[in-house]
Structure 1
Amino acid sequence: MTGGRGISRWGGASRFVDLDGPVHYVDFGGKPTGPVMVLVHGLGGSHLNWALLAPLLAADARVLAVDLLGFGLSHPQGRSTTVQANARMLDRFVQEVIGGPMILVGNSMGGMVSILQAVRHPGTVVGLVLIDPALPPAVGARPELAITAAFAGFAVPVLGRWALARERRQRSPRQQVHRLLQLCCVDPSAVPEELVAASAELLEQRSRVRGLDAAFLTAARSLLALGARRSATWATIDAIRVPVLHLHGAQDRLVPAAIAAYAAQRHPEWTVEVIPGVGHVPQLEVPGPTAGRILTWLAGTAYPEGDTHR
């Protein structure tokens, strides 16, 4: 069952659904006769990652943004936070909240979660939009050395917990948000101050919840494991049987744009677009052009009549 939690400052209704514990999502409403789109954030993200994009998509679609387990307001409460566990949670969310086929929009880790849903439960997904998805690395394409070192630290539980605790000691929530934006964006100033403040407020709220560091590290290690099993993970990706739009920031420091080129070569049936001058989160840096690309692709993609409508 679902429970209300008022209207978010971004125009959507903030709600919870019980999926072996509370799972938070924001229903942005939208066009009643349009396709249903579910937005899935990346590692360390939340529904706020979609605050700028979702209202633009809602002009032509019904739009919801879910907080993965261990992130946003979906506190783990004893539940696993791996990519695989979040894929299982997403399937329950789709079955119990959406109740029919939809289009998944996934950024970074959320892209991989969305891929698993499309492959394991093909009847629920009629299209995928992958925004800088955390796909296995292409040959010769690696993140910057400092980023590689940071993720290597996450793979060691004691070191990872120490690094996260040190970050909180040394930086205020607002400083943590600015540091993350500097990592993910080419132009962090493109993100509105109101959204920065909301993100800092959410970090402050989450700092009082036990177990979130372990939840983050568990998710990070599971994502690293999928990347390490390159052949097996690409075999899963190859099993996608729905239309795919892959958008990628040309200056992504976390997931190099060379991965988009490799994906286009491996899957010429996909629509792959590299966005110049943008980093890992185009939906935050350039929400207007990102929405335009998605809606143009959506308008030009053929679906069976009624498949994406509630």
Structure 2
Amino acid sequence: MVDPNRVGEPAQQEFAQRWGGAGSIVDLDGPVHWVEYGEETEFPPVVMVHGLGGSHLNWVRIAPVLAERTRVLTVDLPGFGLSPSGRRRTGVGANAKVLHRFLRDVVGRPVILMGNSMGGMISLFEAAAHPETVSALVLVDPALPVAQRIPDPRIAAQFAMYFTPFVGERFLQYSSRKLTDRQLVERMIDLCFADPSRASEDSLDAAAALAGYRRGLPSEDAAFLQASRSLMRVLARPRRYLDTMRSIAQPVLLLHGDRDRLVPVAAARKVATANPRWDSVILADVGHTPQLEVPDTMLDRVLTWVDRHGLIDV
């Protein structure tokens, strides 16, 4: 169990403070950082889980607005953001266990679980394995098995490098040496946005500051590669994953950008067809991270959905 004296211990770094977030650290076999917005209400809290290479900063453009209705928590999985991996594994299965402990021991009540990319996959596994912790699920461009089409060549090449021993390590080392903090963030924006000009300057500044802070930590390249390789192994053998989706009994909202280069929209349409009880929305002219690229549009879709299901009343 978590030491109750450490739950809510203030974080030393406050990258989300300008958006009203308060960072905390809890010991879950190693430090786990999360940011809290708003106050506890009678309604389910919203817990947001980032994707591969992401952090709590992936949610700063929507978390404060949702916090006007209910408590919102954005968590850094081990190996990402301000949660160092230490000796912990960082694959999908290991981080799913950490998320479950966070929901059980820190939040302590059923939540609306919102996950993007790899965080969507992890959230699906949590909702299926522990339905008592999840009252509803919002999947934001989740990692999905690729439908029968050729993936984006640049994305395919990059993940092939990640998956290849030695090559992945050298690629990350080269990028770290050659690119500035701002350039590292801009490269990620170019991959994840349909229109990079939509990125907000303040979120870019915060992400660059976090990238700079992480340079001063022991290398987390191994944690990133372990997570990416685990993710690819799940997607390469999709039967269990697809069965997990079909087992979900809670309300599910699937949001997906039609210009997502990392997870093609065809994959989302296929999953939506296979799970007709889900609500699905395809966002036009949007990439892989709509919560950062078109936050107002995403908030409109999410709030319409939670109102329809009576999850968070005004």
Normalising by the residue count of structure 1, what TM-score does the alignment of the two structures yield? 0.95
AA aligned opposite 2:111? M
How big is each residue's C-alpha offset from its partner over 1:261-280, in whole Å with a ceiling of 9 and x where there is no partner? 11121011100100001100
Q: In the alignment, is residue 112 of structure 1 matched against residue 121 of structure 2?
A: yes
Percent of pairs with identical residues: 47
CA deviation after TM superposition for structure 1 residue 302, in Å: 4.9
Where does 1:8-157 land on structure 2 (aligned, <5 Å)? 8-30=17-39, 32-138=41-147, 140-157=148-165
AA aligned opposite 1:236? T
Change over 3 Å in CA distance of 1:154–1:20 after alignment to 2: same
CA deviation after TM superposition for structure 1 residue 31, in Å: 6.4
SS at match of 1:89: helix
Q: In the alignment, is residue 294 of structure 1 matched against residue 302 of structure 2?
A: yes
For 2:188 and 2:66, locate their aligned partners in 1 and report how far apart those are by CA, in whole Å: 25
Q: Is the 8 A contact 2:51 2:120 kept in 1?
A: yes
SS at match of 1:242: coil
Q: Is the 8 A contact 2:115 2:121 kept in 1?
A: yes
CA deviation after TM superposition for structure 1 residue 108, in Å: 0.2
SS at match of 1:9: helix
CA deviation after TM superposition for structure 1 residue 157, in Å: 2.5
AA aligned opposite 2:144? L
How big is each residue's C-alpha offset from its partner over 1:109-156, in whole Å with a ceiling of 9 and x where there is no partner? 000010111011111101000000001222x13430111111011111
CA deviation after TM superposition for structure 1 residue 239, in Å: 1.3
- Out of 15-24 and 227-236, give the one that drifted further: 227-236
Q: Is the 8 A contact 1:142 1:256 kept in 2?
A: no
AA aligned opposite 2:227? A
Match among 197, 220, 237 for residue 245 of structure 2: 237
What are the ranges of 5 or more consecutive residues in structure 2 without an aligned counterpart?
A: 1-5
Please name the residue that 2:216 is paired with: 208
Q: In the alignment, is residue 250 of structure 1 matched against residue 258 of structure 2?
A: yes
AA aligned opposite 1:78? R
Please name the residue that 1:4 is paired with: 10
How big is each residue's C-alpha offset from its partner over 1:237-289, in whole Å with a ceiling of 9 and x where there is no partner? 21111110000011000000111211121011100100001100000011111
Q: In the alignment, is residue 283 of structure 1 matched against residue 298 of structure 2?
A: no
Match among 220, 223, 234 for residue 226 of structure 1: 234
What are the ranges of 5 or more consecutive residues in structure 1 without an aligned counterpart?
A: none
AA aligned opposite 1:51? V
For 1:156 and 1:254, locate their aligned partners in 2 and report how far apart those are by CA, in whole Å: 18
How big is each residue's C-alpha offset from its partner over 1:17-42, in whole Å with a ceiling of 9 and x where there is no partner? 11011100000125623321000000
Please name the residue that 2:173 is paired with: 165
Q: Is the 8 A contact 2:39 2:70 kept in 1?
A: yes
SS at match of 2:83: coil
RMSD of equivalent CA atoms = 1.5
AA aligned opposite 1:37? V
Change over 3 Å in CA distance of 1:292–1:272 after alignment to 2: same
Match among 191, 194, 208 for residue 183 of structure 1: 191
SS at match of 1:209: coil
For 2:21 and 2:75, locate their aligned partners in 1 and report how far apart those are by CA, in whole Å: 12
Q: Is the 8 A contact 1:31 1:59 kept in 2?
A: no
List 4+ stretches of structure 1 deviating above 2 A. 30-35
CA deviation after TM superposition for structure 1 residue 59, in Å: 2.0
Q: Is the 8 A contact 1:147 1:254 kept in 2?
A: yes
Question: What is the number of equivalent residue pairs in this alignment?
Answer: 304
Q: Is the 8 A contact 2:44 2:135 kept in 1?
A: no
Q: Is the 8 A contact 2:144 2:268 kept in 1?
A: no
Normalising by the residue count of structure 2, what TM-score does the alignment of the two structures yield? 0.94
Higher RCO (C-alpha under 8 Å, 6+ residues apart)? 1
